[in-house]
Each structure stands twice: as C-alpha cells, then as structure tokens.
Amino acid sequence: MSPAHRSRLLTHITADLVVLTIRSGQLHVLVVERDNEPFAGQLALPGGFLRGDETLDRTAARELREETGMDPGSLHLEQVGVYSDPDRDPRVRRVITCSYLAIAPNLPVPTAGSDAREARWVTVARLLAPRARLAFDHKRILADAVERAREKLQFSTVATAFCDAEFTIGDLREVYEAVWGVELDRPNFHRKVTDADGFVVSTGRKRTSAGGRPASLYRAGDAETISPPMMRTPRARK
C-alpha cells in the first residue's frame, strides 16, 4: 500500500472488550483476573488475538461469547480506538490492540462462559479512581471507551442497549444518570424521550414494581440518532 517496503513490520493484533452495563444504578465494566504473566493476578479487560480468517469485528464478537458467555448478536458492539505504543506489552515489544465498546443489559449473569476464567463486574468509578490499577494500558482504554459511551448517549439511541427488550422510561433515565453521573429532571426526561421520533415505542403493557404507580413498558424504536440531542445538564449527583 506504500513504497516503504524496507521496514514493514509484522505484529500481533488483539481485540479487547469494554463491556458496560448498569447494576443498581452504577455503571459497571466486565473484567477478568489474569492468571499468566505479565500482570498475573491483576485485573484486565477481556480480549484475545485475531485469527486468520476473521475481521477484528468478528474477533471481538467471538471473544465476547467465549470469555463471557454473552450473545454478541444481541448487544451493541462498536470499535473505539487502536492502541499501538511499542512498549505497551512488556513481553513481546509489539502488540496492537483495537478496543471495542459493548453495551449490555443487566439480565445476563455476570459470571463466566464456557472456557473462561473468572469474569466479574466492577464499577467503572472504582477502576478509574486515581489509585486504581489495570493491566497493560487498559485503564486508558477503559477511560476512552467510557468517554465514547457518554458522548454517544447524547446524540444516539444506544442508551436502550443497556435495557432489556422491554423497559420503562425510569429504567432508561437510570441509564443516563449512571453513565453521566448526573441527576435528571424526571418529568422533562419523560417528555423528551417519548416525544423524540423513533427513540422508544410503547408496547401497551405495564410493569408494576415495588412501590409506586405501574410504569408503561416500551421497546427501542427504529431511530439511531436523536435530534435535538439529549442535554447533559450539570446538577449535583444523587
């Protein structure tokens, strides 16, 4: 693809996953505990090496299934960035990683899949705290993916990917509040979301959860973008 034939470089490629979900109002990410060096015993993002006949997107989907037991077809999975610092892996001097943001509802059990090591949910806040450590440059990768998620909530309808097939407006509001770390005005949120074209579709059914009036159930609409965008108004945290 270029004339610089003299110094081509062969490298290893991995797809690493930042799987996000909401559990009890907190943004969580799926991490595994490493059992090999380097960084044995430390927390890391799940991921794995590219194989011969697949695209990176497929690698990401496969690893998601293998390492976490989740179904990649059912959740939002998108490329975020490439990490290519020559020294990011102390062993081999060169491993390039493409990171993926995956958004999952809370339903699937956080526990491991078939051949997986132990995988578990940890709050993002804890892993991004100044003192926290993750293997490799995974803290940076996590931060970038979370930032991407925060931005996407504003202009796209991905927030529904955090919810089950049927959800209430309150569920959806919790997603925004957890990801953005703000408290939103309930009445205004309700209007904005139900008025937005193709964001949510009423199913007619209702869900009656502990305490309070039963909430109408919705499913995700066809639209992928919201215009005008959802506004992330700064207020005090819950």
Partner DNA sequence: GCAAAAGTGTTTTAGCTACACCCATGT
Partner DNA sequence: ACATGGGTGTAGCTAAAACACTTTTGC
What gap in Å lies between CA 165 and CA 17, rounded to an integer?
A: 23
Residue 214 interacts with which of a copy of itself, DNA, none, CB < 5 to 8 Å by class: DNA
Q: Is 197 in the site for a copy of itself (CB under 8 A)?
A: no
Stretch that binds DNA, among 24-32, 84-92, 157-165, 186-194 (CB under 7 A): 186-194
Q: Is 192 in the site for DNA (CB under 7 A)?
A: yes
- 37 CB-near residues (< 8 Å, 6+ apart): 91
DSSP states along 56-86: HHHHHHHHHHHHH---GGGSEEEEEEEE--T
Q: Is 63 in the site for a copy of itself (CB under 8 A)?
A: yes
Residue choice 25, 41, 86, 90 for contact with a copy of itself (CB under 8 A) = 86
Contact flags string 121-150 toward DNA, x per CB under 7 A: ------------------------------
Among candidate residues 61, 32, 27, 63, the one with its CA nearest the CA of residue 45: 32
Q: How far is the first Cα of the chain from the last one, in angstroms, to the nearest whole number?
A: 53
Cβ atoms of 91 and 112 closer than 8 Å: no
Of 56 and 143, nearer to a copy of itself (C-beta) is 56
Q: Is 96 in the site for a copy of itself (CB under 8 A)?
A: yes
Of 113 and 181, nearer to DNA (C-beta) is 181
Of 31 and 184, nearer to DNA (C-beta) is 184
What gap in Å lies between CA 68 and CA 81, rounded to an integer?
A: 21
What gap in Å lies between CA 7 and CA 13, rounded to an integer?
A: 18
Q: Least distance from C-beta 159 to a copy of itself, angstroms? A: 18
Cβ atoms of 160 and 220 closer than 8 Å: yes
Reduced to 3 states, what is the DSSP secondary structure of residue 189?
A: helix
Residues serving a catalytic function are: 118
Stretch that binds DNA, among 51-59, 76-84, 91-99, 228-236 (CB under 7 A): 228-236
Reduced to 3 states, what is the DSSP secondary structure of residue 37?
A: coil
Q: Is 196 in the site for a copy of itself (CB under 8 A)?
A: no
Exposed e or buried b for every residue in 47-70, given b needs 16+ CB within 10 A?
bbebeeeeebeebbbbbbbbbbbb
Q: Is 164 in the site for DNA (CB under 7 A)?
A: no
Stretch that binds a copy of itself, among 7-15, 158-166, 169-177, 184-192 (CB under 8 A): 7-15
Binding interface with a copy of itself (CB under 8 A): 1-5, 7-14, 16, 36, 44, 46-57, 63, 67, 79, 81-82, 84-86, 89, 94-98, 115, 117, 136, 155, 229
